[in-house]
Structures are given as C-alpha cells and as structure tokens.
Amino acid sequence: MEERNLLTSMDRKQLYLLGGVAGLILVVVAMMSYYIFTFKKSFETEQASRIAYEGKSAELQRELTTTQAALEAKKNKIGILESTIDEIQQRASNLSEAKAKAEAEKMKLFAEKRQREEEFRDLRESLQKEIQDKEIVITELRGMLTVNMMDKILFDSGKAQIKPEGKRVLEKIAETFLNRYPDREIRVEGHTDNVPFKGLVLNNWDLSTARAISAVRYLQEQAGVDPIRLAAVGYAFYRPIDTNDTPEGRARNRRIEIIVMPPKKEGLQE
C-alpha cells in the first residue's frame, strides 16, 4: 500500500515536472511564435517599405531624368538665344561700322566733289578766253574730265609742232588739274577732219597721231606730268563730233582731246 502510494507520489512529481516542462516548452514556443510573427510582420513591412521606396526612387529618378532633359533643352535654347543675340549684336556692329564707313565715304566723295568743282573753276578761269571763244570745251561725265581743244590753239595748219600759245594752254591744264590727280591716267587723242592731207606726214592718221604724241611729250618734259600716266592716240577722221560737210563742222572735228580717266576702283587695279 505504501509502495503504491510512493509510486503514485513519484508519478505525480513526474507528471508535475513533465507538465512544467511542457508548459515551459509551450511558453517558449509561444514566445518564439510571437517573435517569429513579429519579425515576419516587421520584415514584410520593411520589405513593403523597401519596395515602395524603390518605386518612389525609380519615379524620382524618372522625374530627375525628365527634369534634366528639360533643363538640357532649355540650356540648348539659351545657347541658341545667346548665339542669336551675339549674331544680332555682330550684325548691329557691322551695320554701325558700315554706316560709319558709308558716312565717311560720303564725306570723302563730297570733299572730292568740292575739290573738283574748285579745280574745274580754276581751270575754266585760267582758260576763260578760249572757252568764251568756243575754242575749248570742258566736260565731265562719271568722274571723267575731257578738255576738248580746237587744233588751231596748239598747232598751225598741217603741223605737229606746238605753238607758244598752245604750250601756255597745256601748262595751265597740267598745273590746274593734271598734276593734282597723280593716280589718274591721261589719254591724249588726236582727231582730224576728212579732208585728205598730204605733206611732210603721210596722211590724216599720221597727223592726228603725231599731234597727240607732241602734246604728250610736252606734258611730260615741260609740264611735269608723270609719263606712266600718259597715252597718245590718233583717230584721224574716224571719230567726228560734227559734220564734215561744212567748214564749221570740219573745224570742230580737227581737235585734241585730253581725257583724265576716273580713278581706278579698288580690287580692279593690277
């Protein structure tokens, strides 16, 4: 009886012990389950937060890329605008320079015109008698000055030697105009009427050419005109300015023309 009671007491202790262990295990399992559940929830929350963060980060990256592209486009537009502004400023500067240059050229042309007018006046005054007698005609066209002289001013009939009075006229022309424009070429032309000429020279060609050469030589040797500017041309009776059917017309056709050419334009000079 006592032995069964003893076994029974031992069984109860074992049962209590097993119950305690089982309870402890249950508590541990419950705690582990709680911690596992809590960790899982925390992990899932963090995972969801990470996914949301990555999504937000990707969205922000896309927005950043779009913003950078927009900024780059605006930067390009600003660059184009700056380039356009620079071009406009350069054009304005060029226009201003061109305007100033044109104004200076206008003033230069005006001054040259005034100078030519004064020189033409001086030339006309120095040859006033010959002009009044209609023995000399002075004309200007597009910067080219022509002094048209009847042959009797410079030469005796049928001769190519310059008379003293003719020398005075050539010196006045050289002094008042020719030597004031050292950059202009001068062409001296001899002309006759159509009456056949026979004498010391062979014909009208020879006479017109010999007279032009005599005038050129005098301008060079006595009037100080640079010979590199001079040219002598004989046209005989092939370029009349009046009829050869009247004495008056033939007298006008017998002439010497001194032509002062316009200045050469820049870029056309050799």
pLDDT at 267 over 50: no
Confidence at residue 269, expressed as pLDDT on a 0 to 100 scale: 43
Could you read off the pLDDT of 4-55 as tens digits, one per residue? 555 566 666 676 777 777 777 777 777 777 777 777 777 778 777 778 777 8
Amino acid present at 212:
A
pTM metric for this prediction: 0.59
What CA–CA distance (Å, rounded) separates 26 from 32? 10
Q: Count of residues for the chain? A: 270
pLDDT at 84 over 80: yes
What CA–CA distance (Å, rounded) separates 42 from 25? 25
Beta bridge partners of 235: none
What six digits make up the tokens of 221?
């040797």
Could you read off the pLDDT of 52-67 as tens digits, one per residue? 777 877 888 888 888 8
Closest to 133 measured CA to CA, from 119, 149, 122, 121: 149
